[in-house]
Amino acid sequence: MGDVLAGFHAVWEFETDSVLIRFERGIRRPKLFQALGERRIPYEALRSVELSEGRRGTVVLHAVPRPGADPLMEAAAGQLKEDSDPYRLVLPAEREASAGDFADALRAALVPDAAEPADRHLVAAPDPPLTFKAYDGKASFDGSTVAFRWFWTGASSAKWKRGDQTFAVGELAGVEWRSPEVVTGHLRLLERGAREARPGEADQDPAAVVFGLGYGPVHESLPFAAAVLQAVRAADSGQDTPAREPACRAGDTRRDPADIADRIRQLGELHTAGLVTDGEFSAKKAELLAEL
């Protein structure tokens, strides 16, 4: 197509086989858009294109992705607020005719099986490494492993006793993300062969981090979930991902002595507060020292 359509929060550049969405930066722009920066959406990733009347003298061009084509939208599972949907372009109402022309051109570019779910991810997730702080720990993803490091001020005693967790992509079956804009939120890693996750247990599940006010915001936790999900799907399909490995848990790898000292200090504070027993304190301290 070779044309550009500029909206209030983004600019869409139409190319031969895809549309490049460049998100504008600014105080009033959704933080998710700013975090994404730009995204290239192949036309084969789209199911349909809609043009509708928006609010306050605007029109909305909405490109609807095919199920399974975009790891970000798959992880979001319909939980994004309308204003945070990266597939919506809001324009002044006077540009409705121009937007209609682009909508028609996009519809003409849809693939014959656009109504069918995609058999693989067609839109790229944000590149790792990625990190974010949840309420009870720090999550990090380097492209091959996901790590949770618990905060003693927020993690449940069940998580603290299990220790920091590390999961190889190959041992995961998927990702469950719940928006922190609801009452509670979480990111849970679904392990292969594990029992089904039960609602309400994320704060006790060592394969999950939970979100609270000011922790795990959408613009940090959702791209993280999308990147992990994309890596899991790539591993399933035999693409270029690390070979599957057994789970690596606390104590399996050596760590920085300063980090070990910090964890022992935190453990001592929990012991003093009566949150861990003498036996648990001694066992965990010995486990941490063994990592040196």
Residue 284 has pLDDT above 80, yes or no: no
Q: How many CA atoms lie within 13 A of 61 on its CB side?
A: 27
pLDDT at residue 195 in the model: 55
34, 23 Cβ separation under 8 angstroms: yes
- Read off the tokens for 160: 């603290």
Q: Are strands 145-150 and 165-168 parallel, antiparallel or unpaired?
A: antiparallel
**Percent of the chain clearing pLDDT 90 (strictly above):** 68
Residue 29 has pLDDT above 90, yes or no: no
Per-residue DSSP letters for 182-197?
SSSEEEEEEETTPPPP
| Number of neighbours of residue 271 by Cβ within 10 angstroms | 17
pTM comes to 0.81
Contacts 24+ apart (CB under 8 A), 4-11: 5/61, 5/89, 5/91, 5/98, 5/99, 5/102, 6/91, 7/61, 7/89, 7/90, 7/91, 8/58, 8/90, 8/91, 9/33, 9/89, 9/90, 10/86, 10/89
pLDDT tens digits along 37-60: 999 999 999 999 999 999 989 999
- Read off the tokens for 143: 């492209």
Q: What is the mean pLDDT of residues 140-159?
A: 94
Task: Please give the backbone phi and psi of residue 99, each rounded to the nearest 5 degrees, phi first.
Answer: -65, -35
Chain-centre distance for alpha carbon 268: 34
d(CA 79, CA 139): 21
For residues 41-64, b (16+ Cβ closer than 10 Å) or e, as one string?
A: bbbbbbbebebeebeeebbbbbbe
SS3 90: strand
**Percent of the chain clearing pLDDT 70 (strictly above):** 88
What strand order describes the sheet that includes 208-211? 172-178, 185-191, 208-211
pLDDT at residue 247 in the model: 37
Q: Which amino acid is at 262?
A: D
Write out the H or E segment, with its range, that includes residue 263: helix 257-272
- Read off the tokens for 242: 């690390």
On the 0-12 / 13-18 / 19+ scale of CB atoms within 10 A, 111 is middle
217: CB partners within 8 A, 6+ apart? 31, 132, 180, 211
Smallest CA-to-CA distance from 217 within 284, 146, 135, 126 is with 135
pLDDT tens digits along 235-274: 987 764 433 333 334 334 445 676 677 777 777 777 787 7
